Amino acid sequence: MVTTAGSAATPGTIEHLRRCGYRVIATDIDPTAPGLYLADRGYLVPPGDTDDFLPELRGVCLKEDASAVVPLVDEELAAVTELEAEGFAVLLPRRPFVTTCLDKHVLMQRLTAAGLATPVTRLASEWVGDLRFPLVVKPRSGRGSRGLALAGSEAELGRIVHDGPYSAGDLIVQEQLPGPEYTVSVVCWRDGQVQAVVPKEVILKQGVTKFAVTRRSPQIDELCREVQRELQADGPFNVQLALDDGGIPRIFEINPRFSSTTALTLAAGIDEIGGLLSQALTRAGALAADWRDGVVMVRRWAEDFRSETEFDSHGLRPTPTTSALPFRM
């Protein structure tokens, strides 16, 4: 079972797992999600942050005899961890790590207390003018770039806090790091051993990473291993960090799931999803940590073609919406 069939990376993940020989079921809240039609079967489910989501997902897993679940969107993570106690292999870190990372303020406090490098972070409600502008402002829970803003002055920060949809207690402010940004795949499983750390320097990000390149960095490698030692993820996670003006990597966020750049990790030589899935289901051995430096990802749209009979067999044909109607003056 692979969730979030409409995200940028999920169609490629579905196709990769099918090439590996798995039967793949996909879910999403939107019938236009392309991954629904690339999987063996597709299902519409309620949003991951609603009470109806987990019972519906559980029902689909039981109906389709799924043995493993790969959740790929933050709203679903805490709920899906509950399925592990019911005998499903859930490709996530342990639940305490998941819940810590989903609250960015709590995460920054934990990392700072452990002595790991982070940008200075405050709740917007606790900011007292002690951080240098510009400041990154973002919800303490949420994904991607939703709700993210950059404040260049105290007046601008005030407008963001008071005019936006979030309360000051639901926003954090962080010092902006001047160096390049990295998104880092950290591959580990329930024995707690880090099998691979693959840093990817972000070339262009627009909501999701569009261009990135694998980049070796002993400093980043050690910092990410320290996260595992201190917080005991014991599952796959994605570290987002940037370099400060002294070249030191500082963590500004952790996604307790596979990254949207797993395709680049795979292209560099580490099959983090397929490898951990094999370990979860068959107790396969750890992945070799050998990967290629300097591999560039160029994210693009791609078309897929099939017969109308096959398309309709999913029973999910999207219906036209007002946005698809021709414009008339």
pTM of the model: 0.93
Is a pLDDT exceeding 80 seen at residue 320?
Answer: no
Is a pLDDT exceeding 60 seen at residue 326?
Answer: no
- Tell me which H or E stretch contains 27: strand 25-28
Q: How far apart are CA 146 and CA 156, in angstroms?
A: 18
Q: Where in the chain is the domain with CATH 3.40.50.20?
A: 10-90
Residue 145: what pLDDT? Answer: 67
pLDDT classification of 302: cutoffs 50, 70, 90: confident
Q: How far apart are CA 222 and CA 140, in angstroms?
A: 26
3-class secondary structure, 306: coil
Residue 144: what pLDDT? Answer: 63
- Amino acid letter for position 323: S
Specify the residue for token string 């797993």: 262
Q: How far apart are CA 198 and CA 261, in angstroms?
A: 10
pLDDT classification of 229: cutoffs 50, 70, 90: very high
Which residue did the predictor score with more confidence, 141 or 279?
Answer: 279
Work out the percent of the chain whose per-residue pLDDT is above 70.
Answer: 96
Which CATH number does the domain 120-175 belong to among 3.20.20.150, 3.30.1330.90, 3.40.640.10, 3.30.1490.20?
3.30.1490.20
Residue 167: what pLDDT? Answer: 87
Q: What is the pLDDT of residues 204-219, one digit of tens each?
A: 998 889 999 999 999 9
Is a pLDDT exceeding 70 seen at residue 323?
Answer: no
Give the ranges where 128-201 is alpha helix by DSSP (H): 154-163
Contact 194, 228 (CB under 8 A): yes
**DSSP category for residue 284:** P
Give the residue-averaged pLDDT of 26-53: 96
- Amino acid letter for position 215: R
Q: How far apart are CA 285 and CA 271, in angstroms?
A: 13
Q: What is the pLDDT of residues 151-180, one digit of tens each?
A: 999 889 889 888 888 888 899 999 999 999
In a 10 Å sphere around its CB, with 0-12 CB exposed, 13-18 middle and 19+ buried, how is residue 260 labelled? buried
C-alpha pair distances (Å), 77 with each of 4, 36, 271, 275, 321: 11, 20, 21, 20, 30
The CATH code that applies to domain 10-90 is: 3.40.50.20
Domain 98-102+178-298, second-level architecture: 2-Layer Sandwich (3.30)
Q: How far apart are CA 241 and CA 144, in angstroms?
A: 14
- Amino acid letter for position 117: A
Q: Where in the chain is the domain with CATH 3.30.1490.20?
A: 120-175
Is a pLDDT exceeding 80 seen at residue 181?
Answer: yes
Which residue did the predictor score with more confidence, 313 or 95?
Answer: 95
